[in-house]
Amino acid sequence: MSGPIHVVIVDDHPVYRRGLAAALADDAGIELVGEAGTGEEACELVDGLERVEVVLMDLHMEGMGGIVATAALHKSHPDVAVLVLTMSSSDESVDAALRAGARGYLVKGANQERIISAVRSVAAGELVVGADVARRVSSTLSALPLHVGAFPALTGREREVLELMAQGFNNDRIARHLFLSEKTVRNHASVIFTKLGTGSRAEAVARARDEGFGV
């Protein structure tokens, strides 16, 4: 990515926002372009800004909470990465945030270096979660059949994407299921089509189902 990463902070505590803003200001590659105290303000702010790559989102706020705001931003601005930064680490909060389209989940108390690293990672399309959250995500993904014997050129992640394609999932649903950005899913799909030598999604799905995917 050329130029700075443009970031919006969303949190209903002004003191915390100021501290977070100060932490981000120490990195020359990050530019804070706005702050909001509610989910509604966040959506309006992002709508009005020319460039936003990352939104740092608290979950528990008055009015529109962080989960609803995350889902709204994911729908209206799918290329904007939402990185949740909140007090709660419950399974329900993590699952709801990631399924709403968040690209990362950190618990408040993460140090400055960790937050800046997470901002850079989600801006690059990666998923960022704490170690405890990562174990839950791994457990979810392990339920997917990998069909190791079929299509040996495919990576494990590409098999997961192909399996969900064969089950009828579109790219947005695959992204939410695997906790990826939709752009990353599109990239995986393109590589899958190339490796399988297929010219369309339908052809790739047909070949996959012949090999037992999507059953």
**Domain at 110, CATH number:** 3.40.50.2300
pLDDT for position 19: 93
Specify whether 156 is located in the same domain as 115: no
Alpha carbon of 157 to those of 4, 144, 196, 213: distances in Å? 30, 10, 15, 14
Which of 45-59, 81-95, 110-124: highest mean pLDDT?
45-59
Looking at the 3D structure of the chain, how many domains does it have?
2
pLDDT for position 14: 93
Query: CB–CB of 36/61 below 8 Å?
Result: no
Specify whether 124 is located in the same domain as 152: no
CATH number at residue 204: 1.10.10.10
Unique residue bearing structure tokens 């059953």: 215
Examine residue 85 and state whether it is found in any structural domain, yes or no.
yes
Examine residue 69 and state whether it is found in any structural domain, yes or no.
yes
Specify whether 94 is located in the same domain as 41: yes
Examine residue 135 and state whether it is found in any structural domain, yes or no.
no
Query: CB–CB of 53/123 below 8 Å?
Result: yes
Q: At residue 181, what are phi and psi to the nearest 5 degrees? A: -80, 155
Please state, rounded to an integer, the average pLDDT across all residues of the chain.
87
Examine residue 159 and state whether it is found in any structural domain, yes or no.
yes
Query: CB–CB of 51/3 below 8 Å?
Result: no
The residue out of 130, 162, 188 marking a domain boundary is 130
**Residue 140 predicted with pLDDT over 70:** no
Q: What SS3 class is residue 212?
A: coil
Burial (CB count <10 Å: 0-12, 13-18, 19+), residue 83: buried
**Is pLDDT larger for residue 119 or for residue 177?**
119
pTM, to two decimals: 0.66
How distant is the alpha carbon of residue 155 from its chain centre? 20
pLDDT for position 136: 58
Specify whether 17 is located in the same domain as 122: yes
Specify whether 20 is located in the same domain as 78: yes
Specify whether 25 is located in the same domain as 69: yes
Span 60-112, pLDDT tens digits: 898 888 999 999 998 899 889 999 998 877 777 887 888 888 888 998 888 88
Percent of the chain with pLDDT over 90: 53
pLDDT for position 141: 56
Specify whether 77 is located in the same domain as 33: yes
The residue out of 130, 164, 199 marking a domain boundary is 130
Residue 124 corresponds to which tokens in the numbers above? 């690059």
Examine residue 215 and state whether it is found in any structural domain, yes or no.
no
Specify whether 125 is located in the same domain as 169: no
Q: How confident is the model at residue 51 (pLDDT cuts 50, 70, 90)?
A: very high
Q: What SS3 class is residue 38?
A: coil
Lowest mean pLDDT among 107-111, 140-144, 178-182: 140-144
Query: CB–CB of 161/145 below 8 Å?
Result: no
Specify whether 77 is located in the same domain as 25: yes
Which of 83-97, 136-150, 197-211: highest mean pLDDT?
197-211
Cα distance between residue 198 and residue 201, in whole Å: 8
Specify whether 126 is located in the same domain as 149: no
**Owning domain of residue 54:** 5-130
Specify whether 29 is located in the same domain as 96: yes
Q: What SS3 class is residue 2?
A: coil
**Residue 29 predicted with pLDDT over 70:** yes
pLDDT for position 142: 59
Residue 93 corresponds to which tokens in the numbers above? 């909060």
Q: At residue 158, what are phi and psi to the nearest 5 degrees? A: -65, -35
Specify whether 114 is located in the same domain as 156: no
Query: CB–CB of 61/138 below 8 Å?
Result: no
